[in-house]
Structure 1
Amino acid sequence: MKLVVVSAGLSSPSSTRLLADRLTAATLDHLDHLDHLDHLDHLNADPEVIEVRELATQIAQHLVTGFPPAPLAAALDAVAAADGLIAVTPVFAASYSGLFKSFFDLIDKDALTGTPVLLGATGGTARHSLVTEHALRPLFTHLRALVVPTAVYAASQDWGEQGLARRITRAGTELARSMRPTTPDTAFDTAFDTDTAAAIAPRSLTGAITSADPAHGFKVVPFEQRLAALRAE
């Protein structure tokens, strides 16, 4: 299971990278917890962190030439192969940074389809706290990623506050649960017996009509066949 982290901070160290690291730790902690509950070996390898500022010149070259240098190509491939993605940007002019956007402009339009994504942003004031909703979420929805419900914005005054820590924990938990392979819900399967199937089967009125089959739960009857049987009656 591969977790990839994209941090678009411009300085070193940066608050953007700090937020990315804390979101990563929260996600890995919950993945470990889920593995323990299911008696599995650890499914998560070390996360791969991409510092976009280190690729800035290569991103510009790729935008004008169409050919990515090897380090940038490797970063793009890593994002495309991710089972889960954390993407964090500083706020510039009330939106994501140009470098952050330029990096994701180079991602193939289908590469993130169905990939769980956790969004984060940092800024100097709480007035930009909705940037995750009006800028970041639409971008990744356009890329058909599965964006987790909780996005995390950290203003300068938020660091050290319990509210930020709770949001980070909640967001990391949501991403971990989205990354884990689903397992059948045996309780639901047991409860959904043939009596239940028989009760709801007659409600299907269009296309193919479903009816209860005591041995298999449902049997799909083509509409034309069912219509002919009704006429014969």
Structure 2
Amino acid sequence: MRRYRRIWRGSVVISVVNPLLFLAALGGGLGKLVDAHHSGHLAGTPYLDFLAPGLLAASAMQNAFVEGAFPVFQSARAQGNYPAAAATAMRPGDILAGHLLFVVFRILTSGALFLAVTVAFGVTGPGRALLTLGPVLLTGTAFAMPLVAWSITVERPSRINGVYRFVLMPLYMFSGTFFPASQLPGALRTVAACTPLYQGVELTRHTALGTAGTAASAVHTGYLLTLTLTGIVLARRGYTRRLHR
């Protein structure tokens, strides 16, 4: 947090400008073409309203990666701040908790700023935007906690780059963010439905638009919560092994 006080302005600008550009270009520009053809895949939902919650969930995934992958890898190096902290009275669990709290803080603040933009665009109202912050946080933690657990074990930065290029980016493109996953071929549709981003996009979108069903929301929430808790358990073990060397 002491370090973040020096750079928070840049992150706030990115958190506001990025959704503004995406929603203006894709939602307002491309969206007019999509709406003009009355796509049956959107069930009458304007493309801007469809796109914004998907981008919001995908943004939470990206924030989880930015704060939970390379920072953990770098901090665990010999010259990183984890060994220095472990030399004090702090336990590995304390160090993990501090990092996870900061990740949660970043997901919440970035999500809140993104939601403010969606309210300005008329996608959702202020009250529903507050409700949507819960699915956004859960989507972010479902990625952040397993990423933290994995990153503490990584020895080469190329592996982290590989996960971003070959895991996160395909999820970003094919998990229902920009178009309904129902438009994918049968086998890919099944694979997409099993991914955490698809679950997060669906939960976020239906909450933001006020179309959430109880049973479906329970399934999405249970899936994301299971990933979050599993990631925390594995991260505690990983931090203990790494920092007790």
Q: Which has the higher contact order (CA 8 A, sep 6+)?
A: 2
Q: Aligning the two structures, in what range does the TM-score lie when normalised by the shorter sequence?
A: under 0.3
Name the structure where strand makes up a greater proportion of residues: 1
Computing the radius of gyration from Cα coordinates, the structure with the larger value is 1
| TM-score of the aligned structures, taking structure 1 as reference length | 0.28
